[in-house]
Amino acid sequence: MKIGVIGLGLIGGSIAKDLRARGFTDFVYGVGRNQENLDQGISLGIIDEAVDMDTAIANSDIIVLATPVNTMIKLLPTILDKIPSNTVVLDVGSTKAELCKIVHDHKNRKQFVAIHPIAGTENKGAASAINNLFDNKMCIFCETELSSIEGLQKAKALFTCLKMEIIEMTPADHDLHLAYVSHLSHVISYALSATVLEIEKDRSKILELAGSGFASTARLAKSAPEMWVPIFEQNSKNIITAVSAYIDKLQEFKRLMVEKKFDELHNYILNANEIRRILEKK
């Protein structure tokens, strides 16, 4: 089985590492614009050869499209134009509605499987790829009714090899739910970091005084804007709604503080504690 990875970053690189380690593939092509990053992918044993996109398409059994989502929209129709009849292309983007809409009527739509493996870190590039990133995580498949049986079988075999739990969802539902449970978290992290950097002018104090709570909340703010601004753009309607709801909750928190209603604040936090029960089921 030959795999072509277009976009050799954290997700694409980690997929390649585990598929190789677990015997799913015996050869991995890497495609990308940064030659230094591709060379690093070869030296780290993530890919076997750096090639252009046409070579990867022509010689791979599975193409994994792992670029930023704005680049996916540009590349996917072209890939489907050129794809051999026995090859399947998978995307691993964090937004689905716009991408699925663009290729909905493509003559080779059946060779595409829309997928979002929910896993990651704030790091980027081939050097950030790690083994076991996807183990026991959730993987969302969208519009499976538009994909061929053979393509779905290949896709499910790949993500089963990565030890992921597969569920199905419509592109619209995917983008709605991810706005709240993923994309909003990044908005909050960026806003928190921007607030602290603006207010705390003494950078040394941030380093000295920041505890684990700040570090864990601000961690996502290390994520690259090249990856996240396109996600915010493509899912802007849902994210704006999520941000508005979050601001309402912040305003409520502030009001209880200003009015010194600390008994009510206690109940506010107690209700928020319910998230522990939900997350500890995972």
The pLDDT, as a whole number, for residue 211 is 60
**Residue 74 in contact with residue 93, Cβ under 8 Å?**
no
CA distance 134 to 168: 17
The pLDDT, as a whole number, for residue 99 is 97
Check residues 152 and 223 and name the one with the higher pLDDT. 152
Phi, psi of 157 (to 5 degrees): -65, -40
Full-model pTM? 0.90
Q: Fill in the DSSP letter of residue 164.
A: P
Q: How confident is the model at residue 243 (pLDDT cuts 50, 70, 90)?
A: very high
Domain ranges of the chain: 2-169, 174-279
**pLDDT at position 92 over 90:** yes
CA distance 210 to 206: 5
Cα separations (Å) of 230 from 93, 171, 234, 235, 250?
11, 17, 6, 8, 26
Cα separations (Å) of 260 from 90, 251, 256?
53, 14, 6
Q: How many angstroms from the chain centroid is the CA of residue 223?
A: 11
Mean pLDDT to the nearest integer, 66-73: 96
**Residue 171 in contact with residue 114, Cβ under 8 Å?**
yes
Share of the chain above pLDDT 70, in %: 94
The pLDDT, as a whole number, for residue 196 is 83
Say if residue 53 is exposed, middle or buried (CB neighbours under 10 Å; 0-12, 13-18, 19+): middle
**Second-level CATH architecture of 174-279:** Orthogonal Bundle (1.10)
Q: How confident is the model at residue 215 (pLDDT cuts 50, 70, 90)?
A: confident
**Residue 126 in contact with residue 41, Cβ under 8 Å?**
yes
- The strand pair at 27-31 and 49-50 is best described as parallel
Name the CATH superfamily for 2-169: NAD(P)-binding Rossmann-like Domain (3.40.50.720)
Nearest to 150 by CA among 101, 195, 85: 85
**pLDDT at position 60 over 90:** yes
Phi, psi of 140 (to 5 degrees): -100, 125
